[in-house]
Structure 1
Amino acid sequence: MEKLAEKELNVSLLMSELKQDNHEMQQVMKKIQDISRKSNILALNSGIEAARAGEAGRGFAVVANEIKSFSSESFSASKESEELIGKIQTKANEIISVRTVDIAFDTIDKIDRNLFERNCDVQAWATFDAVKQSLINPNPETKQDAEKLLKNIYDIYEVYYDFLIVDTNGKIVVSAQNEDQVGKDMANRKWFRETIETNSVYVTDMYYSEVVDGYTMGYSSPIHNDEGELIGVFTTRFNWEFIYDIIESVKLGDQSMLYLVNQEGFVIASTDRKGTLEKNLNHLEAVQKVLGNEETRGFTVEEDHIYAYCLTKGYNAYKGKGWFVVVAEPVQ
């Protein structure tokens, strides 16, 4: 019963099994057709021999005709069955396609919701008094209070590599985890410039950071004093490993693949964890449709696979980074 319940949750797997069963049925029908052809040849040869035998072979000729008639009816029925099986295969592919598009949508939606929370985190933490005081009254005591706060947040949330407080000159004032970064100049970093210039939250794309030794995203928010004046930047480094919690929870068949793709067509996460920021899927029609702004959601059939795709819509105030999910399902 437990195995049945698990399968009921995986429509794609069930449909794949149906397609495989249909494929095996097609092989059986081909064997029946082969038997019908051989029976027809046998009936033909028997008829020839019966004719040679004359009166003595008349009874055998009747049997030969019956075999031929049976062979013809059997062959005709098997052809009709084969056509029906082909239709079932086609319908199974269509159902898998629709279901796979739903999987792509559900996955990117969950990722968006997760990253939306990261977007909210950085804005909330930038308002904490200890954070602001480390910039308004920069001294060992206020910096120590801010560092203690950031370490507590780090221990509670678990999904971040680090938190940094940066002054308006671009110098790191406090770090939650990497104290060797304190004092370094971030003035030329895009995330710092964009946050300062726009006075609003800036989110990087996913990238590899040598500082944290892992794939990450940076969320940066302006820090304001009580008068609303810009006094610095609060920035976080999200641990990309937690995206795999979402990807690995998706129920797929053994031969299926799921890719999270950035706006340049590069894989930034996948079920096999291979080719991150190296593998490019621009050769796929499905990817071209998204990148060419033709469609945001749908599927294509190419390279003996169904490729379902869904572009991010973002979530609430988080607009997303133009990423999309591609799910590849093999076609019989």
Structure 2
Amino acid sequence: MKELVEKQLNVSLLMNELKKDNQEMEHVMKDIQDISMKSNILALNSGIEAARAGEAGRGFSVVATEIKKFAEHSLKASQKSEDLIQRIQQKANEIIAVRTVDIAFDTIDKIDRNLFERNCDVQAWASFNVVKNCLVNPSEESKQLAKGLLQRIHQIYEVYYDLFVLDLEGNIVAAAQNNHQVGKNMADREWFQQTVKTKDVFVTDMYYSSVVDGYTMNYSSPVLDDQGEVIGVFTIRFNWEYIYDIIDAVKIDENSQLYVINSKGEVIASKNREDVFQANLGDIKAVQKVISRTEKQGFTVEGTKIYAFSLTKGYNAYKGKGWAVIVEESIV
């Protein structure tokens, strides 16, 4: 994996160096073009002067004609070279764009796989007998046992802010960390209502939670009795900071940008933490394509920027939330 990353970095650096060399070559060819045009003008003026000199200027006229032919040939060659340079530049941009699309896909895929694990966690823990027992037999002892279990899970799985067990009325009966929330009623929350209604896992979008004082995602699973009836809800709060383990590991040029956006085009993760819920990329064509599902993966060239994009595909039971990764590369 390390070798693959290094190769990807080398490809990026080499392509950028190629583009810079190409640009320098373009300047050189323009200088040659300028010399050819001046030589052509010089040959023309020399021809006029040779004609005025009559017989005495005949030899000089031959030289002027040859200079003119050389200048014209040189001008045509430099124009062809300039066309070739532009094609090489275009191909270099396309190679960078393709690699950048790969980065966008790989990043959203890693995020999906990470969140799929959270999807599995909440379902598994909702099936524990200690959790069920504190709902079927809600005594002080059963609630304390449930609390102890949640605390042990929280210690082992460091990626969660908190874990809660709620009864069918929406009351929190056990918590791993925020014990002052026990007794609070959540029956009016969409995640609670949908989990009970669908008897299935409900996943929120990323949001800021005042309860855990941080950006989070809420995974909620129904707790079922032995007959398969809903008796409560097990809900967890994922610590969004752990997504940056993925974001910060992405190797891109220091002048490039990487964003995770939600289905509205709002930035929910970025190399720059200050962009979260402060920037909306809806005016970028690449973002418009991916939000509208016109294209699920690809790139656009907009001005001096390449924008690569890849829409979430989800992973197994986790269907994704309509997010996408956008990678911005300069082509100047």
Is this a same-fold pair by TM over 0.5? yes
- Aligned positions of 1:144-155 closer than 5 A: 144-155=144-155
| Paired-residue identity, % | 66
Q: Is the 8 A contact 2:107 2:325 kept in 1?
A: yes
Q: Is the 8 A contact 2:267 2:276 kept in 1?
A: yes
Instruction: Give distance in 2, aligned partners of 1:70 and 1:4.
Output: 50
Secondary structure of the residue aligned to 2:274 is coil
* 1:4 Cα deviation after fit: 12
* 1:135 Cα deviation after fit: 2.1
Q: Is the 8 A contact 1:305 1:329 kept in 2?
A: yes
**Cα gap change, 1:273/1:4 in structure 2, threshold over 3 Å: closer, same or farther?**
same
Secondary structure of the residue aligned to 1:274 is helix
The equivalent of 1:223 in structure 2 is 223
The equivalent of 1:276 in structure 2 is 276
| Number of positions where the alignment pairs a residue of Structure 1 with one of Structure 2 | 331
The equivalent of 2:143 in structure 1 is 143
Mind listing any 5+ residue stretches in structure 2 that lack a counterpart? none
CA RMSD of aligned residues (A): 2.4
Question: Residues 144-167 of structure 1: CA distance to partner in whole angstroms, max 9, x if unpaired?
Answer: 222222222212221111111111
Instruction: Give distance in 1, aligned partners of 2:141 and 2:236.
Output: 22
Mind listing any 5+ residue stretches in structure 1 that lack a counterpart? none
Letter aligned with residue 179 of structure 1: N
Instruction: Give distance in 2, aligned partners of 1:314 and 1:132.
Output: 29
Secondary structure of the residue aligned to 2:321 is coil
Instruction: Give distance in 1, aligned partners of 2:102 and 2:193.
Output: 38
The equivalent of 2:167 in structure 1 is 167
TM normalised by structure 2 equals: 0.90
The equivalent of 1:99 in structure 2 is 99
The equivalent of 1:84 in structure 2 is 84
Structure 1 runs of 4+ aligned residues shifted over 6 Å read 2-5
The equivalent of 1:28 in structure 2 is 28
The equivalent of 2:254 in structure 1 is 254
The equivalent of 1:204 in structure 2 is 204
Q: Is the 8 A contact 2:9 2:252 kept in 1?
A: no
* 1:41 Cα deviation after fit: 2.7
Deviates more, 1:75-84 or 1:43-52: 43-52
* 1:108 Cα deviation after fit: 1.2
* 1:239 Cα deviation after fit: 0.8
* 1:59 Cα deviation after fit: 5.1
Instruction: Give distance in 1, aligned partners of 2:133 and 2:76.
Output: 87
- Aligned positions of 1:1-332 closer than 5 A: 6=6, 8-51=8-51, 60-332=60-332
Q: Is the 8 A contact 1:162 1:176 kept in 2?
A: yes
Q: Is the 8 A contact 1:7 1:13 kept in 2?
A: no
* 1:29 Cα deviation after fit: 0.9
* 1:53 Cα deviation after fit: 5.4
* 1:28 Cα deviation after fit: 1.4
Instruction: Give distance in 1, aligned partners of 2:179 and 2:191.
Output: 20
TM normalised by structure 1 equals: 0.90
